[in-house]
């Protein structure tokens, strides 16, 4: 048994390590790579793994962890602000898709009970696939991503009554009314216990464990918390994922949120990958080979109807036109809870085993189709929207003796306004069309274009410019611009904004010597004001700030040679911190007897 477990783990990991990088390199995405790995090692591939159902149930814990981590990002106030898209848009999506699919099923001669249960299950989407895709493509903050997330939350809630009504339509005895009320009270009681426990029990426990200083114990408790809540919610018939999501929301404003996220993130990724592998293994190609035309037609009709309905709803939900089809494709597949609904229908004898197998296959194939449909969208549809909205680079006049500012956000604007007030000729480059149009209304001469492109830098007169100010927000773009300028215009002086110390060191690696950390000076000035508010004299506050400034700058440069050696870097940083503490201790000792001095 132990050897079998290790062998299975070896097969999963090897399949993932081989297929996922290949899929990513081909532009197919990680999800499709995992699905392909599952097909390859499953019963209808090389037959290396047979226990598909067991693995599928275990790997669903990856979805549970995913929902818990998402819950940590949403405090209750933010969740309440999303009530309209969750319950309004979510109920509209589930209801309208169910009606459309059921109507088509009844019109084709399918019994209404079978059509209704099948439509309810197929109206749900895959939480794992959609959220993994949103995360991989960085779409969560977009209108399409936000709407998809809200609808998925409602679907997880809706799955509970769906599973509950299945026995009522079957030939097996339905639960009596008293038992139904008892089950409902159990759910309410568990949710109340979860809310109270999350507020008054879990946080003190986390605080006590954190005080031990044992990172592994904190990780163990985090896993215990998620598993325990998931099993508790499952015991009363509630989705594990929904229960742990609620627990995550309750801990979203706690001081341990980030520690929980960092400890659970690796487990989430591994288990989600295992879930996708299990879905790939569950594709029953025997049923597909027995009914190829019927299954193919069912998958095509299902996707066509669901995508069409979602596309129409996207317009009503106010999703931008360029993202409406993307929204529809993201939610087009069947979901994990469809397997549960269809399993319950087979148990209640609403479905025959053959019908249940065919519907499970339709859901699994629709999951396989989603990455492919998104790939086609990226290749064929997205470029058209991009071409329609992309603004061509502005024409630049030949200039010389000017200063080029790359990036005209909050940082670049202050530099530009100062230079402009002193009649220094400027050429400003930025890639935000709306920002450029707004600034031009106020009289700024700003040009649209990607400053990292050498042809645009030539057009901007970089060869004849007096200096380049790098004020780009994105760190990678900032470094790419410095690399391009160093290669094409080695004599052009570069003055750069550093987002943080790591960025500062990266710029130093490239030979940039005139650097400014964007929040450093402002933080020092505010610190001076805090000292004065606390009763320190203006001179004393200034001296303390300037001494800290000098020490900090010296420390940053002293640590620089070692920053790529993590152990040495930490040691040097601690030494600099201790030196600063000793320096301030001497100052306090020397100034005993009064805080005021100079200027007061």
Say if residues 144 and 319 touch (Cβ distance below 8 Å).
Answer: yes
Q: What is the model's pLDDT at position 583? A: 65
Mean pLDDT computed over every residue of the chain: 79
Which residue's structure tokens are 């999800």? 31
Q: How far apart are CA 511 and CA 366, in angstroms?
A: 52
> Alpha-carbon distance 267 to 8, whole Å?
17
For the chain, give the percent of residues with pLDDT over 70.
Answer: 81
Segment 356-378 shows an average pLDDT of: 86
- Predicted confidence (pLDDT) per residue in 505-535, tens digit: 889 988 888 888 888 888 889 999 999 999 8
| Residue 444, pLDDT score | 64
Homologous superfamily of the 401-517 domain (CATH): NAD(P)-binding Rossmann-like Domain (3.40.50.720)
Beta-bridge mates of residue 403 = 426, 467
- Stretch among 89-93, 119-123, 162-166 having the lowest mean pLDDT: 162-166
Question: Which residues in 50-76 are b (16+ Cβ under 10 Å) and which e?
Answer: eebeebbeebbbbbbbbbbbbbbebbe
More confident residue, 170 or 192: 192
Question: DSSP letter string over 317-351?
Answer: TT--HHHHHHHHHHT-S--HHHHHHHHHHHHTTSS
Output the CATH code of domain 58-172+198-386.
Answer: 1.20.1530.20
What does the pLDDT look like over 419-456, one tens digit per residue? 888 888 888 888 776 667 666 666 666 677 777 777 77
The more confidently predicted of residues 578 and 172 is: 578
Averaged pLDDT for residues 212-230: 82
Lowest-pLDDT range of 167-181, 435-449, 453-467: 167-181
Angstrom distance (rounded) from CA 470 to CA 495: 6
Give the pLDDT score at 240. 74
Task: Give the list of residues 6+ apart from residue 135 with CB closer than 8 angstroms, or none.
Answer: none
Token pair for 335: 């979901």
Cβ density class 160-185: b for 16+ within 10 Å, e for less: bebbeebbebbeeeeeeeeeeeeeee
Q: What is the pLDDT of residue 443?
A: 62
State yes or no: pLDDT of 351 exceeds 70: yes
What is residue 396's predicted lDDT score, i.e. its pLDDT?
46
Of 571 and 192, the one with more pLDDT: 192
Which pLDDT score, from 0 to 100, does residue 463 have? 84
Q: What residue spans define the domains of the chain? A: 58-172+198-386, 401-517, 536-592
């Amino acid at each position: 048994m132990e050897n079998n477990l290790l062998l299975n783990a070896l097969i999963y990991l090897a399949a993932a390590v081989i297929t996922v990088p290949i899929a990513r390199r081909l532009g197919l995405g990680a999800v499709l790579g995992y699905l392909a790995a599952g097909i390859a090692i499953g019963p209808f591939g090389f037959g290396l793994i047979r226990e598909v159902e067991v693995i599928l149930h275990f790997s669903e814990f990856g979805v549970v962890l995913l929902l818990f981590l998402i819950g940590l990002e949403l405090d209750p106030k933010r969740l309440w602000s999303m009530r309209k898209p969750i319950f309004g848009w979510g109920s509209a999506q589930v209801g309208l898709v169910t009606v459309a699919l059921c109507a088509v099923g009844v019109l084709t001669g399918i019994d209404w009970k079978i059509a209704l249960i099948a439509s309810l299950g197929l109206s749900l989407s895959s939480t794992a696939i959609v959220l993994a895709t949103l995360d991989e493509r960085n779409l969560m903050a977009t209108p399409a991503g936000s709407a998809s997330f809200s609808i998925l939350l409602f679907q997880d809630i809706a799955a509970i009554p769906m599973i509950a009504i299945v026995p009522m339509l079957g030939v097996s005895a339905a639960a009596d009314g008293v038992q139904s009320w008892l089950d409902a009270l159990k759910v309410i009681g568990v949710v109340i216990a979860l809310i109270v426990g999350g507020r008054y029990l879990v946080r003190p426990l986390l605080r006590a464990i954190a005080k031990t200083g044992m990172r592994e114990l904190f990780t163990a408790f985090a896993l215990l918390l998620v598993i325990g809540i998931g099993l508790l919610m499952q015991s009363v018939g509630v989705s594990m994922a929904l229960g742990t999501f609620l627990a995550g929301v309750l801990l979203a404003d706690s001081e341990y949120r980030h520690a929980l996220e960092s400890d659970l993130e690796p487990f989430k990724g591994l288990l989600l990958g295992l879930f996708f592998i299990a879905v790939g293994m569950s594709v029953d190609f025997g049923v597909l080979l027995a009914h190829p035309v019927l299954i193919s037609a069912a998958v095509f009709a299902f996707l066509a109807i669901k995508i069409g309905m979602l596309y129409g709803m996207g317009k009503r939900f106010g999703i931008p036109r360029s993202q409406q089809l993307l929204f529809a494709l993201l939610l087009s597949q069947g979901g994990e809870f469809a397997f549960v609904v269809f399993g319950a229908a087979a148990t209640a004898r609403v479905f025959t085993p053959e019908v249940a197998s065919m519907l499970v296959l339709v859901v699994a194939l629709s999951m396989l189709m989603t990455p492919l449909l998104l790939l086609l969208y990226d290749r064929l549809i997205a470029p058209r929207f991009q071409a329609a909205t992309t603004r061509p680079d502005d024409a630049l006049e030949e200039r010389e003796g000017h200063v080029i500012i790359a990036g005209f956000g909050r940082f670049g604007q202050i530099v530009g306004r100062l230079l402009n007030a002193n009649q220094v000729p400027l050429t400003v480059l930025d890639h935000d069309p709306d920002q450029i149009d707004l600034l031009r209304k106020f009289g700024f001469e700003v040009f649209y274009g990607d400053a990292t492109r050498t042809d645009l830098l030539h057009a901007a007169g970089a060869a004849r410019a007096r200096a380049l100010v790098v004020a780009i927000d994105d760190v990678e773009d900032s470094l790419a611009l410095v690399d391009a300028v160093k290669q094409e215009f080695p004599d052009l002086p570069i003055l750069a904004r550093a987002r943080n110390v790591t960025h500062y060191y990266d710029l130093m690696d490239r030979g940039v010597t005139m650097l400014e950390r964007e929040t450093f000076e402002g933080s020092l000035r505010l610190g001076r004001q805090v000292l004065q508010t606390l009763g320190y004299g203006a001179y004393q506050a200034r001296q303390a700030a300037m001494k800290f400034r000098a020490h900090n700058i010296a420390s940053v440069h002293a640590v620089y040679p070692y920053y790529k050696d993590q152990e040495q870097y930490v040691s040097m940083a601690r030494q600099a911190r201790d030196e600063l503490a000793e320096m301030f201790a001497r100052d306090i000792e020397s100034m005993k007897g009064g805080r005021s001095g100079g200027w007061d």
